[in-house]
Amino acid sequence: NDSPDMAGDSRARSGSGGPAPPNRHLVGAPPTRELAKTFAQVCPPDLLASLTKEERQRQEVLLELVNTERAYVLDLQIIHKIFIVPLTTQHMLPSPDLDSIFTNTCTLIQLHEEILAELEAKQKASGEEKGMMVDAIGEIFLSKLDRMAAYSLYCSNQPLIPGKLDKLCQKHKWLKGFLDESNTRPELRQLSLSGFIIKPLQRLTRYPLLIKEILK
């Protein structure tokens, strides 16, 4: 199960400053990485033909939003499962060192698991017979707007992480070996920890582009 759960970890902490136990995925099973389909592929032909060109394009972007949100949650969960949990429970990297690399990653995981669950709930309410159409998403993001402020802390620390990681590898000689071994795991898709650490920044900058397309 890739959904983060650090309930049994005595070192798990609450608050926005460091790794904390996020909630499990709220609707159904944890997300899985599947080949994303377009709206035209999942929508019944008769329904697709009845939609205006503008609505088809809107639903394509809405589906892209849900699919990319699912992929983003999976990447955040990889950070937790492959890096945070072992470094917390097995190698016992000191808390200040953990915080300097992962900042408030677990706060972001909890936030986006909830966003994904609500997006998927809208799809399920529509059903396959209606092509998993989503009517509106504005209230989902508006209800989470205050919690999106967590990105301010994360993004302010992100440019400093590569340098901090190099220093930690010098300070803890075993850390480089751990990272090199982790990089061989297939679920990382040949990405390093640094490649995953930048994912939140990339996702944050993607939202305005997707929302702009939905509003067209």
What is the pTM for the complete model shown? 0.83
pLDDT value of residue 53: 93
Taking residues 11-30, what's their average pLDDT? 42
pLDDT value of residue 32: 61
- Look at residues 102, 116, 93 and name the one whose alpha carbon lies nearest to residue 160: 102
- Residue pair 176/169 in contact (Cβ under 8 Å)? The answer is yes
Structure tokens belonging to residue 3: 């959904």
- Residue pair 119/39 in contact (Cβ under 8 Å)? The answer is no
pLDDT value of residue 21: 47
The 10s digit of each residue's pLDDT in 66-106 is 999 999 999 999 999 999 999 998 878 888 999 999 999 99
| H or E, element range at 47 | helix 45-50
160 CB contacts (<8 Å, ≥6 apart)?
A: 100
Whole-angstrom Cα distance, residue 198 to residue 160?
11
- Look at residues 78, 116, 84 and name the one whose alpha carbon lies nearest to residue 2: 78
- Look at residues 141, 176, 173 and name the one whose alpha carbon lies nearest to residue 65: 141
State percent of the chain over pLDDT 70. Answer: 83
Whole-angstrom Cα distance, residue 189 to residue 64?
21
